[in-house]
Structures are given as C-alpha cells and as structure tokens.
Structure 1
Amino acid sequence: MNITAGMVKELRERTGSGMMECKKALVEANGDMELAIENMRKSGLAKADKKSGRIAAEGMIGVKISADEKTGTIVDINCETDFVAKSPDFVNFVNSVAEALLVSDIHSEEQLLAMPLADGVSVDETRRGLIAKLGENITVRRFEKFHTANGGTACYLHGSKIGVLVELEKADKELGKDIAMHIAASRPLCVSEEQVPQETIEKEKEIFKAQAAESGKPAEIIEKMVAGRISKFFAEVTLLGQLFIKDDKISVGKLVASKGNRVVRFARLEVGEGIEKKEENFAEEVMAQVRAV
C-alpha cells in the first residue's frame, strides 16, 4: 500500500513520534493506521521499561480542589530534566492525574497507576507512552487526597515545584490559601505539639541538655533551660506555633483561632525532596555523546 505524507502526518499528530518512526510503522502495518498505533505503543512500552532505572528528580506538583471545596488532591510526578517538566505534554499529564484523583476512590499507588484518566487510558499506560515520546523516565512518586463532609480544603502552588494541600474544620478559601502559602514557605513538621514524634522530642532534649551542661549551672536550672528550648523548638516546627509569614506579630495558631477555625491536616510536597540527584558534568556528557557518534 502507498504510504502518503498525509498518513504520516496524522500518525505523528496522534502519537507524537518522529516522522521516520511513523513512516516505518505504517509500512510494517501495511497502511493500517490503528495497527500502526498499537505496534508503536507496544514498542513504546518496551522503551519505557528500559528507562525505568534512571533517576527522576525533576518534575511538577499538581493540585486540584473540587468546585464545592470539599475535596482536594495533590500529586508529585517526576521526570529527569526541567526541560521535560515544562513541556506541555508533561504538564497536561500532571494536571490530568490530579483532576482524575478528585473523582476517584484511590488509596494506594497501585490503584493510582490503574486509575483511568479522562480519555479512558490508565495513568500507567499514559505514563509509559509519555516516556516513549519524551525520552525520559517519568514516575508518579506520591499523592494525597483530602475529603471533608463539613469543612473545606484549600491549596497553594509555588511555581510548579512546591505544592500544599490544607483541610480546615470550616470552609474558608482565603484563610486556607494563606495557611497553605505559609506552609510552603515555612515547612512546618506537623500541625501541633501533640503530633511531634516523641523520638524527635527526646533527641532534641539530649542535644539541649548537652549544650546547657557546658554552662556549669545547677541541674534544676539546666532543666528549666531545656524546657525553654523545647518550647522554642515547638514554636519553630509546628504550624500553629510558627509566626505567620504575613504578620510576624501573630502565630498561625492565634490567626486560625481568631477566625473560629481549626487546621485538621496538611500535606506539603516538593519536587526532588529526599531524592539523591546524580551530579552531572555537562562538558563531559557532551563529549561522551560526540564520541559515540
């Protein structure tokens, strides 16, 4: 069958693959467009598997809030370079996953990967196709979903690298956004003192005691010094104890109380957080590619 330029153009538009790959696929499928797409997707899946071991420490955070503000989702999806993270295909994928999470009953990573997007294709199949198209490893790293019957959710996205999702006891979009913005900037460990892990508290006490002991003061004074340092520590690491970024004369706890509200929980995700990035020497990388040609 004669493979026309129009057929190649259509296949390129539908798959996002290169012209020569599209022409070859059409020839092998004897001009059958759907068969060519199926074969290319199979090939793409193989290519995707080969890239799965590569470090993906760049990417984008996606956040979505439902129209009634009762449900909020946040997802961290990673790729290898900032260039791909800014590409329309990747951005659309992240937003599509966050949007689909709003209306899906998802609790695990396995369920998320199997979740269908708006076009009916699963997250994992779309991800693998994107790997084949963009040439980089892409991973759906983590997600959170909050739902409240009587309260409200809010979010804040700082650029595309830091996202925060907040649940309030009472719906308050403005307060929620302010709190989420504060969390993005101040990185609290948890909402309140009661949520600070006991192990963390004991470790801090040991450090403070060792520092206070050097003063040579009596034990009872040292205990008071340590208690004071722990109180200061709580004010630094808990959301309610921190001074509000928009007004450092008031704590977040007092701000929320003045609004007759309560912060139930929050999630703060940052791209690349906790991932050990591979240090690249750009000049050496270019030379290696030149020698390989």
Structure 2
Amino acid sequence: MAITAAMVKELRELSGAGMMDCKKALNETNGDMEAAMEFLRKNGQAKAEKKAGRIAAEGLCRIAVKNDTTAAVVEVNSETDFVAKNENFQEFVAAVAQQAVDSDAADMDAFMAEPWNVDTSKTVKEALVEKIATIGENLNIRRFEKVTAEHGCVVSYTHGGGRIGVIVEADTDVVNDAVKECLSNVAMQVAALSPKYVATTDVPEDYKEHEKEILMAQAQNDPKNANKPANIIEKMITGRLAKELKEVCLLEQAYVKDGDLTVAKYIEQVAKENGAKLSVKKFVRFETGEGLEKKVDDFAAEVAAQAGM
C-alpha cells in the first residue's frame, strides 16, 4: 500500500524513531502500524513505552472519593484545550466523577443509561448531549473506573490540572495521616513514571516472552554480539529483561523522592514507623487522550518534504 506522510508522522510519534526509519518500517510491513512498531523495536530504533504516547485529545481526568474507601476516576474529552479550561466544562466533569463513584454500572453503556445525579429526570447520556449543545463543541465521556478498598483505603492524585488522574488502593490495618501521605506519594510516583504493574509477580508470562523476543532480536542485530556464544547472549537478555521489569513494576521502581529506596522499601519503612501492615494492592492511572489518534496538521507536509514523498 502507499505510505503517506501522515502514517510516517503517526509512527514517529508512537516510536520516537527517525522519519526515514519510520518510512522504511512502514514499507517493510506494508503499512501495518503495529507490525512497523515491532520492526523498529527489533532493530533497536524504538522503545516499548513509546507505544503509549498517542496522546492528543483534549479534556480532563477527575476523581471523586467517598469515605476513604471508594474512588472513581473519569476521563471526559473535548475538542479543544480552550473548552477543557472552561469552568462550565470542569463542573460537568466533576459531576461525572461523582456519578461514577456513586454508580454500580459495570460498563460504559450501563453508566450512560443511569439517571443523572444532578437531575434524575434525564440520563447521563442526555445530560452529555445537553452539555454539548450548551458548549457548542463535541464532548465524550470516554471511560471511568471505580475502586473500592475492602481492607484498607484509597488515595487519589491529580496532576497537571487534570491531565493525569491516579487512584491507589492499599491493604492496611492503620489509616492515619502518615499512611495516607505515603500512599499519596506512591500515587505521584504512578503519575510520574507510569508503571504497568504493581509487582513483578503480576507480570503475565506472555508479556515476558514477548519482551524477551524483542530483546533477542535486538541482540542478534547488534554487530557487537556477532561472536558471542549463545549462553552469554541468553544471560544478557535475562539481565536486560530483569532491568526492564523493574522499570514497569511500581514496587521495583526507584522511589522518586529518595533514589536510595525502591517504592517497596519506602512503603516498608512507613509501615514499620506506624506499626502497620501496609501494601499496595492496585493502582489506576488515566491520562487524558491516552491511545487516541492525533489530528493531522501541517507537520505532515513537513514530513513529506523531508522524506521525499
């Protein structure tokens, strides 16, 4: 298929690789974006975490918390950043978050069909349609997630005025200011470093095997490894995978406020100081526009000119 400038632009934003590398990858994979991303990773031209970088849609994430045991995070999208900063829109998003924390809906369809808390004569969907008419811009209640702690508490953290929303659920037999502060710091860690899992024990085997395959391809494509025995390369890959897992698992990450501690050690330290049994059970992280396509702009023309399309 014909490789367009917009496709090259999208892959570049996904991968962080150069334009010509992206063009080559798309040509090699007949325009398949996922396969092109794999091609770049196997050739050491992209990082796995770049795949989550398709962030462009405007809007806000908001969190509502109830009784320190239940929290819900929502993402509501708008077309422009101007509307996202609008007080009317922000009040609506806050009301959607409150709706979510009070809701028992299992999915978005059920949530949208619920009576609207602010005015039970209409549904959530009808309230959204009304808000679209009022603001004059397309809006979308994209997603929500509710977390309830059965043996502890929840804490929340919102970053960048609502660009990122995080909920952390903890099992704990002590809920005091020190424990809450600790969990708030952990929520900030989640916002900043975007881990995928709580602990290495949570990482699925298929994820490990997939990453091992990528690392093997990278090693085989590196001329420096041409004469190395297979067992040495295997040890290298095992070490690199272990390092990668530390980066994607919350408890294994270096604690951002004290690089001498891992997050696990920091939690352990706070637990000991407060005579508590404390552990992080779950986290939820929403980032506005995560996974949505970006609008094509004049940059596509720039790519076309430089790539000779």
Give the TM bin, normalised by the shorter chain. 0.7 to 0.9
**Match status 1:70 vs 2:82:** no
Counterpart AA for 1:242: Q
TM-superposed CA distance for 1:280, in Å, is: 4.0
Partner of 2:20: none
Counterpart AA for 2:242: S
Q: 2:169 aligns with which of 136, 145, 167?
A: 167
Partner of 1:20: none
Report the structure number with the largest CA radius of gyration. Answer: 1
Counterpart AA for 2:148: H
Partner of 1:119: 119
TM-superposed CA distance for 1:89, in Å, is: 1.4
Counterpart AA for 1:198: E
Partner of 1:26: none
TM-superposed CA distance for 1:182, in Å, is: 0.5
**Match status 1:196 vs 2:203:** yes
Partner of 2:295: 278
TM-superposed CA distance for 1:176, in Å, is: 1.6
Counterpart AA for 1:133: T
Describe how 1:27-66 pairs up with structure 2 within 5 A: 57-66=57-66
Partner of 1:179: 186
The whole-number CA distance in structure 1 between the counterparts of 2:103 and 2:212 is: 44
Give the RMSD, CA atoms, in angstroms. Answer: 1.7
TM-superposed CA distance for 1:103, in Å, is: 2.1
- 3-state SS in 1 of match to 2:278: coil
Q: 2:266 aligns with which of 255, 267, 270?
A: 255
**Match status 1:138 vs 2:145:** no
Partner of 1:41: none
Q: How many residues were matched structurally?
A: 225
Q: 5+ unaligned residues in a row in structure 1: which ranges? A: 1-55, 282-293
The whole-number CA distance in structure 1 between the counterparts of 2:203 and 2:143 is: 22
Partner of 1:266: 283
**Match status 1:92 vs 2:91:** yes
The whole-number CA distance in structure 1 between the counterparts of 2:204 and 2:88 is: 40
The whole-number CA distance in structure 1 between the counterparts of 2:150 and 2:211 is: 38
The whole-number CA distance in structure 2 between the counterparts of 1:134 and 1:263 is: 40
Q: 5+ unaligned residues in a row in structure 2: which ranges? A: 1-55, 272-276, 299-309
The whole-number CA distance in structure 1 between the counterparts of 2:135 and 2:215 is: 51
Could you report, residue by residue, the CA deviation over 1:122-162 in whole angstroms, capped at 9, with x for unpaired residues?
22111101111111111111111001222100110002111
Runs of 4+ that moved beyond 3 A: 210-214
TM-superposed CA distance for 1:101, in Å, is: 1.9
Partner of 2:8: none
Counterpart AA for 2:203: V
The whole-number CA distance in structure 2 between the counterparts of 1:91 and 1:248 is: 36
CA contact (8 A) 2:100 2:144 kept: no
Q: CA separation of 1:101/1:211 partners in 2, compared to 1, >3 Å: closer, same or farther?
A: closer
The whole-number CA distance in structure 2 between the counterparts of 1:273 and 1:205 is: 26
Which is bigger in relative contact order (C-alpha 8 A, separation at least 6)? 2
- 3-state SS in 1 of match to 2:185: helix
Partner of 1:227: 238
TM-superposed CA distance for 1:57, in Å, is: 1.7
Aligned-pair identity in percent equals 41
- 3-state SS in 2 of match to 1:106: coil
**Match status 1:101 vs 2:100:** yes
- 3-state SS in 1 of match to 2:251: coil
Q: Give the TM-score normalised by structure 1.
A: 0.73
Partner of 1:45: none
The whole-number CA distance in structure 2 between the counterparts of 1:207 and 1:279 is: 30
- 3-state SS in 1 of match to 2:154: strand
TM-superposed CA distance for 1:219, in Å, is: 2.1
CA contact (8 A) 2:76 2:141 kept: yes
Q: 1:245 aligns with which of 252, 256, 259?
A: 256
The whole-number CA distance in structure 2 between the counterparts of 1:150 and 1:199 is: 31
